[in-house]
């Protein structure tokens, strides 16, 4: 039982932060928000690095870290923090940095060998922090945080300063950590693609206020949320591997009883995985086209239409119990005479596979 209870208010000049919620047990919670929305302030309050207003409360499972007149300093909270900059100690080598956390930990946690393997830093132990690439530094910082035996792990845009290939690597490793470790995690980012890989639960923060919270798969396709209206808006969906077609180098996924073809995967049939379907890569047809190069055609029902900025509209589509988003021009909308409740066909031009072998 380690749900995380938060009731945090912070006032700093013009800025005010107010978040009152309970994060579900055993989940990675993503916090999404633009810069200045209060994400980092929120994490600082949870970690005890910032002291908010009296009456704030922070609870992990049954352990109260703050509230009812109590306020634990950061060193007594057992809340590990992975910062945007790795913040390795420059006078120590990698092993020394990890040992710093190990020697001070007060509750059981994963061992050095284990954590080093998860993060791929076994070969770096004797290196100085300053000799590492940014990606390596951040991997060491994550390992150091996990070795402190935390009740809760906070990650504040840990990939912000890292190049694309380094990001891919760390995301895969974090997915592994997530599977191996049953510690609640809060992951802050302004990048939905990143959150879609890791988070189960999502909080959306705008100007210090919680504007939406819920399972990420549901929130990603909600029309009224600003995040659906971004250029990169995408629905996050769940599918299973059905079979492989080595002749064409493709795999067939089963998605609410429908078929989706993707490049061949090295996953056994039956594996559950997450997909990300960008709204701009979905086009709509009244009838199933008889001749098209697009492999993935899904029968869908229109469940919502929302005008966007400029010439385009966002259409929400239902396939079984899951929802897609499509961004089309207003001109197309009128030409197709689309209305809520219509049964139409969606052409899917691209599917992004998120971290694999998830068992949710």
Partner 1 sequence: MLDALWLTLKLATVSTLWLLLLGTPLAWWLARRRSLLSTLVEAVVALPLVLPPTVLGFYLLIAFAPQSGLAQAWQALTGSRLAFSFSALVMGSVLYSLPFVVQPLQAAFRQVPASLLEAAATLGAGPLDRWRSLVLPLCRPSFLAAASLGFAHTVGEFGVVLMIGGNIPGETQVLSIALYDRVEALDFAAAHQLAAGLVLFSLVTLFLLYRSSGRWSVRT
At closest approach, how far in Å is the CB of 144 from partner 1? 7
Minimum CB–partner distance for residue 47 and partner 1 (Å) = 6
The contacts found for 302-305 with CB under 8 angstroms, 24 or more apart, are 302/338, 302/339, 302/340, 302/341, 302/342, 302/344, 303/340, 304/223, 304/340, 305/333, 305/338, 305/339, 305/340
User: Whole-number minimum distance, CB 129 to partner 1, in Å?
Assistant: 10
Q: Which of residues 266-295 bind partner 1 (CB under 8 A)?
A: none
Closer of 19 and 43 to partner 1 (Cβ): 43
Among 28, 47, 170, 302, binds partner 1 (CB under 8 A): 47
Nearer to partner 1 by C-beta: 47 or 348? 47
Using CB under 8 A, which of 105, 134, 190, 349 touches partner 1? 105
CB neighbour list of residue 241: distance below 8 Å, 6 or more residues apart: 251, 252, 253, 254, 265, 267, 268, 269, 270, 271, 273
Q: Which helix (H) or strand (E) holds 114?
A: helix 112-119
Position among 5, 67, 95, 100 found at the interface with partner 1 (CB under 8 A): 100
Nearest CA to 170 among 82, 88, 237?
82
**Residue in this structure with the two tokens 């609640």, named with its chain if needed:** 184
Which of these segments, 103-111, 160-168, 274-282, 349-357, binds partner 1 (CB under 8 A)? 103-111
**From 59, 87, 134, 244, residue interacting with partner 1 (rule: CB under 8 A):** 87
Please state, in angstroms and rounded to a whole number, the distance separating the CA atoms of residues 221 and 138: 31
Of 162, 199, 225, 233, whose CA–CA distance to 31 is shortest?
A: 199
63 binds partner 1 (CB under 8 A): no
CB-nearer residue toward partner 1: 145 or 192: 145
CB closer to partner 1 out of 54 and 130: 130
108 binds partner 1 (CB under 8 A): no
Stretch that binds partner 1, among 27-35, 41-49, 55-63, 324-332 (CB under 8 A): 41-49
Is residue 51 at the binding interface for partner 1, with CB under 8 A as the rule?
Answer: no
Distance CA 282, CA 291 (A): 17
CA torsion through residues 329, 334, 336, 342, sign: positive
Tokens of 71: 């306020």
Stretch that binds partner 1, among 75-83, 109-117, 171-179, 256-264 (CB under 8 A): 75-83
**Nearest approach, Cβ of 210 to partner 1 (angstroms)?**
24
| Sign of CA pseudo-dihedral 287, 290, 292, 298 | positive
Query: Could you give the 3-state DSSP secondary structure of residue 351?
Result: coil
Instruction: State the nearest-atom distance from the C-beta of 93 to partner 1, in Å.
Output: 13
In the bound complex, what is the minimum distance in angstroms from residue 46's beta carbon to partner 1? Answer: 10
Q: Pick from 54, 90, 108, 246: which binds partner 1 (CB under 8 A)?
A: 90
Distance of CA 299 to the CA centre of its chain: 28
**Listing from the earlier edge strand, what are the strands of the sheet with 296-307?**
282-285, 343-348, 296-307, 312-319, 322-329
Q: Does 321 bind partner 1 (CB under 8 A)?
A: no
CA distances from 90 to 87, 140, 262 (A): 8, 13, 45
The alpha carbon of 73 is separated from its chain's Cα centroid by a whole number of angstroms, namely 28
Q: Does 104 bind partner 1 (CB under 8 A)?
A: yes
Residues 141-180 binding partner 1 (CB under 8 A) are 144-145, 148
The window from 34-42, 74-82, 251-259, 268-276 that contacts partner 1 (CB under 8 A) reads: 74-82
Any contact of residue 360 with partner 1 (CB under 8 A)?
A: no
Nearest partner of 299 among 291, 290, 289, 288, judged by Cα:
288
Residue ranges that bind partner 1, judged by CB under 8 A: 47-49, 73-81, 83, 85, 87, 89-91, 100-101, 104-106, 130, 144-145, 148
């Amino acid at each position: 039982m380690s749900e995380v209870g938060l009731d945090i208010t912070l006032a700093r000049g013009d800025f005010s932060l107010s978040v009152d919620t309970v994060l579900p047990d055993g989940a990675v919670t993503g916090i999404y928000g633009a810069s200045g929305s209060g994400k980092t302030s929120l994490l600082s309050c949870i970690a005890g690095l910032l002291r908010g207003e009296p009456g704030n409360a922070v609870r992990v499972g049954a352990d109260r870290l703050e509230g009812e007149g109590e306020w634990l300093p950061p060193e007594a909270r057992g809340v590990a923090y992975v910062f945007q900059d790795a913040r390795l100690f420059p006078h120590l080598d990698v092993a020394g940095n990890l040992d710093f956390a190990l020697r001070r930990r007060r509750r059981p946690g994963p061992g050095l060998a284990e954590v080093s393997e998860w993060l791929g830093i076994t070969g770096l132990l004797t290196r100085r922090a300053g000799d590492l690439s940014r990606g390596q530094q951040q991997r060491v910082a994550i390992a150091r945080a996990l070795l402190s035996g935390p009740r809760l792990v906070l990650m504040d845009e840990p990939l912000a300063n890292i190049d694309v290939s380094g990001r891919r690597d760390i995301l895969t490793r974090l997915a592994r950590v997530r599977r191996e470790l049953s510690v609640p995690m809060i992951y802050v980012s302004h990048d939905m693609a990143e959150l879609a890989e890791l988070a189960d639960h999502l909080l959306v923060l705008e100007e210090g206020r919680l504007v939406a919270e819920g399972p990420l798969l549901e929130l990603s396709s909600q029309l009224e949320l600003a995040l659906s209206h971004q250029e990169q808006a995408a629905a996050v969906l769940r599918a299973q591997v059905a079979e492989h077609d080595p002749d064409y180098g493709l795999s067939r996924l089963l998605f609410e009883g429908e078929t989706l073809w993707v490049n061949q995967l090295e996953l056994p049939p039956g594996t559950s995985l997450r997909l990300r379907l960008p709204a701009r890569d979905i086009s709509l047809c009244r009838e199933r086209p008889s001749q098209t190069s697009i492999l993935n055609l899904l029968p869908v029902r229109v469940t919502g239409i929302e005008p966007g900025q400029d010439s385009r509209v966002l259409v929400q589509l239902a396939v079984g119990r899951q929802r897609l988003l499509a961004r089309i021009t207003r001109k197309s909308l009128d030409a197709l005479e689309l209305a809520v409740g219509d049964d139409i066909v969606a052409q899917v031009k691209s599917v992004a596979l998120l971290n694999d072998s998830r068992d949710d």
